[in-house]
Structure 1
Amino acid sequence: MRLLIVKDENDLRNIVKKVLSRNITVQMSREWSRSAGLHQYDFLRCFRLLHSEIGNDHLRYIHVLHVGFDNQVHEGELVVNKDIADDVLEIFKELYESEYQIEKVRFIDEYDADDEASMSDNNSSAFNFRFISHTTKISKHGMGMAVDINTLYNPYVKTVDGELSIEPANAADYVDRSRDFSHKIDHDDLCYKLFTEHGFEWGGDWTHSKDYQHFEK
């Protein structure tokens, strides 16, 4: 694997010029995708973050269908690590066939790679080079090894310096998991069952924090 070290915006532009002809391998299910002709992925769209290491060969672009909150069929796009690409495709296929509602599945760069903005808009996403909240450790998302689903209704919750931290900040109404509400991921939820059947760990089972939207390997 060749790593491309991005130090600043000019460095990013120079790298893009050199590798623009290279594309991330596309991995998709032709049987249920409505955009079988979608074969290439623009290098610029995924790698806008600076100060990150880019392992292009280890990432896969996948195109999925999902049922939105409006009960209509929508197209979604994700970038994930190649090691979980087949699992994620199979999971999304089963969610789609079961008419499981996922509001949005958009690239994180549509939110300027701002995880808070993406989560507050209830966007489900995967790869984003970033650190675990309140740490200097690279997140599983930074390696493409995690997927977040219906993020507004399934927040990340942690006590930091005696204060309750909720991400996204507008998800306070969904912190109490004893309440019944739509789109809640718990042990009875189909999304939880499918991801864990495929060997993913659910953030809702963590002890020192709770990340109800999060599935990782």
Structure 2
Amino acid sequence: MLPISLDQPAATWEDRPITFTGRIGTGLVNSYVTLWQNLSTGWVMRAATRTVTGGVYKFNYVLPSPGQATFRVIIGNIFPSAVGNTVDRTVTVLDRTLVMNKPAASYIVLTGVKMTGRLTPPEPGAKLVGLQDRYGGKWRTLTSAWIAANGTFAVPVPDNLPATKTVRVVTLGGASTAVEASGYAVITIKALLNAKVSGISPASINKTYRPGCPVKPAQLRYITLNYWGFDGLVHRGELVVRDAAVSKMLTVWTATFNAKFPIRRMQRVDMFGGSDIRAMAADNTSVFNCRQVTGNPYALSPHSYGYAIDINTVENPYLAANNVWYPSNGLAYRNRSIVRPGMLFTTSVPTRALRNQGYFWGAGWRKPDYQHFQPK
């Protein structure tokens, strides 16, 4: 029999190739050699190749499951070989794991919810992990994120809608046999106003504040809060209000949010260059803007004091003192007999909530202002 060797293969991770090397001692070239694995039912051939210069050979074989397996290389393809057999080698295949950390008891919408965890061992090069949820009896991929060099990941969860989801993470971008999946967990995302109140810098309101305005930046507060959009999802908005109006605004917007009353947009008017006309055309909801009354340059707007508020300006247009309706893209909403989302009526939650806080609704004026509320 010809002498043939089989080097001890290094331990590896599941779904990664095991490399088998060795040589025929006589240096025989182009000799047909085969790789065999010992199973409970007997020896099974796994691969075949031919020797090269010096009688050297090499096999790569992927063992799909972790554990230990015994292999042998022979000359030819008849087992056992009458020409040459190696000693048996036992290979350890380690368990590659993808672990998702236990989620919190619940999360609040729009707080940057992420599922974190680790892939062991870390994959060389770039690799993606995907977040899946159980939908219609199947797993569907929602979002993805890159796995860091150390194997950790933080994959975002869609959190603009309250829901209870069964989720897991899986590796993406590889062969189906190499996919790793974590255990699953149930996460709950709650819909809350989640208002945050802070001061505001003059630089943030440099289009709506100027020297001589009746209130100074130090008397204003910046509120960020959630609102329900016309798309049925939760969005993050901002309001600039007088410090003394904060409590009332939070009460009003808590009731409005809980009722899921739709708001198109909620940004400080500085995002529109301080222009009330541009802000109205964008269907914006806002409070502070130190300016003259639109359509009446001789009067200071109540918005200059940080108390008055305009809501859904397109759906709730305004007849100015110059007999012009603003905004121009809200003319179809002058007919208040056709009820459409975002329109304000006496029975609307924002209307009732503002009136309960001592506000007057401009719809009752001789020239109606359906978007406007201000303290009595």
TM-score surpassing 0.5? yes
Alignment check: 8 A CA contact 2:195 2:250 kept: no
Tell me, yes or no, if structure 1 residue 211 matches structure 2 residue 369. yes
Higher share of residues assigned helix: 1
Q: How much does 1:86 deviate?
A: 0.6
Matching residue of 1:153: 315
CA shift digits 1:160-193 (9 cap, x unpaired):
3xxx411111111011222222221111211111
Counterpart AA for 1:216: Q
Tell me, yes or no, if structure 1 residue 165 matches structure 2 residue 324. yes
Pair 1:95–1:35, CA change in 2 (3 A): closer
Pair 1:126–1:118, CA change in 2 (3 A): same
Alignment check: 8 A CA contact 2:345 2:351 kept: yes
Q: How much does 1:40 deviate?
A: 5.4
| Pick aligned residue for 1:140 from 272, 283, 302 | 302
Give the ranges of 4+ consecutive aligned residues of structure 1 lying more than 4 Å apart after TM superposition.
31-36, 49-52
- What's the secondary structure of 1:196's corresponding residue? helix
Matching residue of 1:23: none
Pair 1:158–1:189, CA change in 2 (3 A): same
Matching residue of 2:131: none
| Pick aligned residue for 1:62 from 223, 229, 235 | 223
Alpha-carbon distance between aligned partners in 2 of 1:141 and 1:93, rounded to the nearest angstrom: 21
Residue range with higher mean Cα deviation, 191-200 or 42-51: 42-51
Alignment check: 8 A CA contact 1:65 1:93 kept: no
Q: How much does 1:200 deviate?
A: 0.4
1:40-189 map, 5 Å: 41-49=200-208, 50=210, 52-53=212-213, 54-133=215-294, 134-158=296-320, 160=322, 164-189=323-348
Q: How much does 1:35 deviate?
A: 7.3
Alpha-carbon distance between aligned partners in 1 of 2:346 and 2:194, rounded to the nearest angstrom: 31
Alpha-carbon distance between aligned partners in 2 of 1:73 and 1:155, rounded to the nearest angstrom: 24
Pair 1:72–1:169, CA change in 2 (3 A): same
Pair 1:52–1:152, CA change in 2 (3 A): farther
Counterpart AA for 2:341: S
Counterpart AA for 2:292: F
Residue range with higher mean Cα deviation, 39-48 or 165-174: 39-48
Alpha-carbon distance between aligned partners in 1 of 2:226 and 2:305, rounded to the nearest angstrom: 24
Residue range with higher mean Cα deviation, 182-191 or 40-49: 40-49
Matching residue of 1:28: none
Larger Rg, first or second structure (1 or 2): 2
**CA RMSD after TM alignment:** 2.1
Aligned residue-pair number: 182
Tell me, yes or no, if structure 1 residue 196 matches structure 2 residue 355. yes
- What's the secondary structure of 1:93's corresponding residue? helix
Higher share of residues assigned strand: 2
Alpha-carbon distance between aligned partners in 1 of 2:327 and 2:283, rounded to the nearest angstrom: 9
Alpha-carbon distance between aligned partners in 2 of 1:98 and 1:76, rounded to the nearest angstrom: 17
Pair 1:167–1:52, CA change in 2 (3 A): farther
Pair 1:117–1:52, CA change in 2 (3 A): farther
Matching residue of 1:3: none
